[in-house]
Chains A and B, each alone.
Chain A
Amino acid sequence: MKTFNYHSAKEVKEASKLASSNSAFLAGGMTTIPSMKLGLATYKDLIDIKGIKKLSGIKASGKTIKIGATTKHVEVAKSKEIKKAIPSLAALAEGIGDPQVRNRGTIGGSIANNDPAADYPSACIALNAIIHTNSRKIDAEKFFKGMFETSLKNGEIIEAIEFEIPQKSNYQKLPNPASRYAVVGVYVAKYKRGVNVAVTGAKSCVYNAKDLAGALSKNFSSSAINNVKITSSGMNSDIHASANYRANMVKTFAQKAVDAC
């Protein structure tokens, strides 16, 4: 790891001001630190945002759950409010990585990083999330732009993620046996207006599987998607899973999620 300057910010404004094209915010550090150690990333400045009180915590209203950006995975997993309002979201957090990762990693860091195999992005899409930053509100669908790419601007800080409470929902993933990231993860959420099906791990970026969602909106049962064709084009292929296997697993895990709703 190369030497860098460490800053501990107490206010969002201060953190934003310190940011440059050669800096990163330090939340859980579960992505940033390993990349720096491996020499995959170097930064001149690391701006620690864990000390900014405003960024952490869970707030439930009748319709939404709002989670502060630096809230740790373990806090989401254990939260009574979340377990009650959106149990599948708590379960998702419980399934991230391992205890060490869950004790440090944060929801804001996870979605800012937008790893194609991360779990939270699927929750954001399926649960109609709004990403609150220090300058605007962004719809989840517009937030995740591509592999490790989001619509965040330089120095823009995620303050909270607000999820709409669904009638029913469930998240099922086939974990990568080594890292426990999603080889394929499917988040199904049912609202009065219709069903969302968000898929992570399968392609270069999380996506809304409109065909599956459409079929399920008409008939919310796992057999409703039996005949939906899922092609392997555009699917990831690596040593853990071929594109063809992933395509098949998208449907299998969507069905599992529907059955578990």
Chain B
Amino acid sequence: MASLVGSRVERKEDKRFLTGKGRYTADINIANQTYAIFIRSPHARAKIKKIDTSKALKASGVVDILTGEHIAQDKIGGLIAGWAIRSEDGSEMKCPPNPPLAKDNVNFVGDPVAVVFAETLDEAKTAAELVKVDYKELKAVVSLADTMKSEAIHEGIEKNLCYDWLLGDRQKVKEAFDKADKIIKLDITNNRLIPNAMEPRACVVDYNTASEEITCYTTSQNPHLSRLIMSAFGGVTPENKLRVIAPDVGGGFGSKINLYNEEIVCSWASKKIERPIKWVAERTESFLTDTHGRDHITHAELAVTNDGKFLGFKNETTANLGAYARVFGTVTPTYLFGPCATGVYVMPAAYSNVKAVYTNTAPVDAYRGAGRPEATYTIERIVDKAAIELGMDPIEIRMKNFPTEFPFKQTLVHQVDSGDYVAGLEKAKQMSDYDGFAARRKDSESRGKLRGIGVTTYFEACGIAPSPVVMMLGCGVGLWESAEVRFNPTGQVTVYTGSHSHGQSHDTTFAQIAADELGVPFENIDVVHGDTDKGTFGMGTYGSRSLTVGGIAIINACKKIITKAKKVAAKMLEASEDEVEFKDGEFVVAKSNKKKTIGEVAFACYLPGVRDEVKSPLPEGEEPGLKESAFFDPANFSFPAGSHIAEVEINPETGEVKLDKYTAVDDFGTIVNPTIVEGQVHGGIAQGVGQALTENAEYNEDGQLITASYMDYTMPRADDFPEFQLGFTCTKATTNPLGVKGCGEAGSIAAPPTIMNAVINALDGQEISMPATAEKVWKACKELKKSNAKAA
């Protein structure tokens, strides 16, 4: 039987998604359900003086209206930060309380203060307009650059500072800088983004008055963790009385890692009002209240020698947390950002210093890449700047500073197990016809256009795991993953995983690897995920961890199955275990034609006996049935890497930027399904290009989100893209038996600096910030014309 790992198996998911048969949370309706509408703060910062629900309570169809007072009375806990980060001075980070419904203060536009439950959605909306909230408006803290000088938003959190974190050695860096021929300096902004999952958040909650069990259907990337937080921190109900189901989920990109206010409130309220509740966000609510991403201001310095060797690196960053610290909010700008900021290079000395601050804006949390796009943008932009200032080719300066031996001890934290950065860049150079660029530039110029080429080489740390390591760094939970593999008596297999698919095609990829391990046809394997009542437990999907952690748990459970099945097969075949070999789904006795298929063994495990004789196929002490589970906690992160090269053409008359060519060469180790991986790379690049060229979440000085609809927030579209050229190199990960590395975030990590380096190259080195919108580029083109005129 040919191995399925590496083959373009068609997606099991396609039929359901392409024929409109997906079942999303909003598709779920429960008899007698009420409809929830949340009343949200229209102000970025205010004190709640009074909430008057008297008129609304009398409106037609209203079942109940709950506020922060009720939350406090019932002692329902708030939302939490999942990672505890310590400041350079040893002090613990400072986090404000974040009650599910604000009682005293609101801290961003969209902060929920009350909720209306009514018989119909219309009635809920009408009643919501009758709830009168009396606010005392306060001056909002919005500008990231000025936050630390502004009035404190949260009581007891001076300078709005959550932490002032350091990773690295300031003294060593100083020494390295003292020896440098040249110091390259760069100030950059990593623009704030709104994740924009296609499916808005939603939850449907059903409380069973007899069993006292709450079932919460929700749009989550990790239902098990949502249940844990709702029970342990929210105090909604004990874990055994809470079932969280995340059915089909239409994209998350990190924004659905968090447990949100609405899920806690609806779960708690369903028990209180003894009615099922349905809540579905409107798109405006998604814009306002889904966690946002990025939003850094960075000053970086790179110490170099005249011939382009890197000596040291400084990264001083202010990161916006928004109004509250959420699950990955505090770790994204620290351990997911700082270490990767030295890039793929040998960097003798470095530090990353990050100040994370609160502002009156939506909470900022992980967004595809989480920290690593920000890190890669920082280092790849400054490396290009160094190349410009030293008069070197951008490829040459990178090659000069690559490590060539693996494992490679990266400066700040990571022990990178495998990689070949030279091979990746060589391949990208050749695939992109880098050497033909000059001719293409000439051609563009003949048409009155400016052309630029941009290079990025990245590595990233993903597949976030080793529990002892992440817990040592402050994570509140271990980041292992679990799996359970069950044979049916008739030979089909169900795989239960703690990972969660919301676009990653786990049904297919996981079935492929299980098929290889068990020798069972792909068609006979089903993957089940997203339900806390099905499968053991799980840490969910984010940080490109599903295959490298969750997939390996599946493999380990399969291996346990084979171990047991082999014992049974040996007894059935009247051979010793050492004589039996398992291959392609069959247990064969060496040098004989005696064999049993794994299906026959599974059948025997469930029906262990025969007619007229007391005889069992099971060896002494072996239990009936064929089902195993495994938890996997890898020894390290996984470290995908790659080289991306893009070309842009600029119309200097209008400033419009056209992305003309995009080449991506990635090393994801072993690739299980190339089609799915290519899809992940495509999507990631599209989001990265969005960050570089079009997307920007903008608040005005009063803290109103002025890009709260698709009329103003510019998502990239299919016709903004050329055909991507994708290539792969492969160095297998040594930390898992499949040799796989994460692939989900690479595109969004590599694309922003690739595009911006190309734009800046077209502008002859002129600095420009993301997103490179038409007007900004047009202004830069005018400057360029002026300076060229001066030079001539």
Contact = CB atoms under 8 A, between A and B. Distances in A.
A and B: real partners?
A: yes
Interface of A: 2-3, 37-38, 174, 176-179, 181, 183, 239-242, 245, 248-249, 252, 256
Contacts of A252: 653-654
A184 B711 CA distance: 16
Nearest to A174: B654
A2 B698 CA distance: 30
Interface string B357-388: 00000000000000000000000000000000
Nearest to B706: A239
A241 B775 contact: yes
Interface in B726-745: none
Contact of A249 (B125, B282, B654, B713): B654
B711 A178 contact: yes
7 contacts: A38-B709, A174-B656, A177-B774, A178-B710, A179-B711, A252-B653, A252-B654
Nearest to A253: B654
A177 B778 contact: no
List the 3 shortest-distance A-B pairs measured between CB atoms, nearest first.
A178-B714, A245-B775, A177-B714
Contact of A239 (B125, B284, B712, B715): B712
A248 B779 CA distance: 11
B284 A174 contact: no
B237 interface: no
B707 interface: yes
Interface of B: 122, 125-126, 282, 284, 653-654, 656, 694, 698, 706-707, 709-715, 773-775, 778-779
Given A249-B654, A252-B654, A239 B122 contact: no
Contact of A174 (B698, B706, B774): B774
B778 A38 contact: no
A245 B778 CA distance: 9
Contact of B715 (A178, A242, A248): A178
B710 A179 contact: yes
> For A38, A177, A252, which residue has the most chain B Cβ atoms within 10 angstroms?
A177
A3 B126 CA distance: 10
Nearest to A179: B711
Contacts of B773: 177, 240
Nearest to B284: A38
A42 to B, nearest CB: 11
Nearest to A248: B778
B778 A178 contact: no
A252 B4 CA distance: 57
Contacts of B709: 38
A177 B694 contact: yes
Contacts of A174: 654, 656, 774
Contacts of A183: 774
Contacts of A38: 284, 709
Given A174-B774, A242-B775, A252-B654, A2 B715 contact: no
B553 to A, nearest CB: 42
A23 to B, nearest CB: 20
A54 to B, nearest CB: 33
A191 B694 CA distance: 39
Given A3-B122, A241-B774, A241-B775, 5 more contacts: A2-B126, A183-B774, A239-B712, A245-B774, A248-B778
A239 B698 CA distance: 9
Contacts of A179: 710-712
Contacts of A242: 775
Contacts of B711: 176, 178-179, 181
Contacts of B774: 174, 177, 183, 241, 245
B563 to A, nearest CB: 55
B712 A178 contact: yes
Given A174-B654, A178-B712, A252-B654, A239 B694 contact: no
Nearest to B709: A38
B526 to A, nearest CB: 36
A2 B774 CA distance: 39
B281 to A, nearest CB: 13
A247 B709 CA distance: 26
Nearest to A183: B774
A145 to B, nearest CB: 23
B309 to A, nearest CB: 41
Given A174-B656, A239-B707, A239-B712, A2 B775 contact: no
Contacts of B694: 177-178
